[in-house]
Amino acid sequence: MNPVRLLPALLHRTLAVMLALCFCHAVTASDTTRKAYDLPADDAVAALKRFSEQSGRELVYPVEQVRGITTKPVKGELTAMEAINRMLAGTDLYVLQDEKTGALAVNRATDPNAARAAQASGRPQKSMTNNKGTLELERVEVSSSKINGPVNQTIFNTSETGVFNYDVIGRVDIDRMGVTSFEELMRFVPQTSDYGSVSLQGQVGNPQIAGGATFQNSEVKLRGFASTQTAILVNGRRLQRGNLTAGADLSRIPIGAIERIEILPSSASAVYGGGAIGGVINVILRKDYAGRDLTATFSTSTDGGGTKYGMSYFEGRAFNEGRTRLSMTLAYEKTEPLYLDDRDFLQRALDRYPQSSALTVSGRPIFEQYIIPAFAAAPGTIVLNATTGGLGIPGNPNARIAALPTGLTAAQASALTPESFNGSADRANLSPRYGRSIVYRPEERSSINGTFEHDFIPERLSFYSEFGGSYFRSQYSFPQITTTVNLTATD
Least confident of 81-85, 186-190, 265-269, 286-290: 265-269
Least confident of 211-220, 250-259, 330-339: 211-220
Q: Give the Cα-Cα-Cα angle 140, 141, 146 (nearest 5 degrees).
A: 140
* Contacting residues for 354 by C-beta, under 8 A, at least 6 apart: 367
Which carries the bigger pLDDT value, residue 355 or residue 208? 355
- High-pLDDT (> 90) share of the chain, %: 1
pLDDT of residue 110: 66
Pairing of strands 279-285, 291-299: unpaired
Q: Mean pLDDT, the chain, as a whole number?
A: 75
* Per-residue CA distances from 261 to 166, 226, 256 (Å): 10, 20, 12
Which carries the bigger pLDDT value, residue 43 or residue 244? 43
pLDDT of residue 490: 63
pLDDT of residue 194: 72
What string of H, E and C letters represents the secondary structure of 181-237? CHHHHHHHCCCEEEEEEEECCCCCCCCCCCCCCCCEEEEEEECCCCHHHEEEEECCE
Amino acid at 426: D
pLDDT for 142-158, tens place per residue? 776 655 554 444 445 55
Most confident of 15-19, 304-308, 357-361, 465-469: 304-308
The DSSP secondary structure of 264-276, one letter per residue, reads E-GGGHHHH-GGG
E strands, 287-442, are 291-299, 308-319, 324-335, 338-339, 381-383, 401-403, 438-440
pLDDT of residue 202: 39
The DSSP secondary structure of 54-87, one letter per residue, reads HH---EE--HHHHTTPBPPPEEEEE-HHHHHHHH
pLDDT for 159-175, tens place per residue? 555 566 778 898 889 88
pLDDT for 435-459, tens place per residue? 777 877 788 888 888 888 898 988 8
Grade residue 12 by pLDDT with cuts at 50, 70 and 90. Answer: low
pLDDT of residue 306: 85
Is a pLDDT exceeding 60 seen at residue 184? yes
pLDDT for 304-324, tens place per residue? 888 988 888 888 888 888 889
Is a pLDDT exceeding 70 seen at residue 122? no
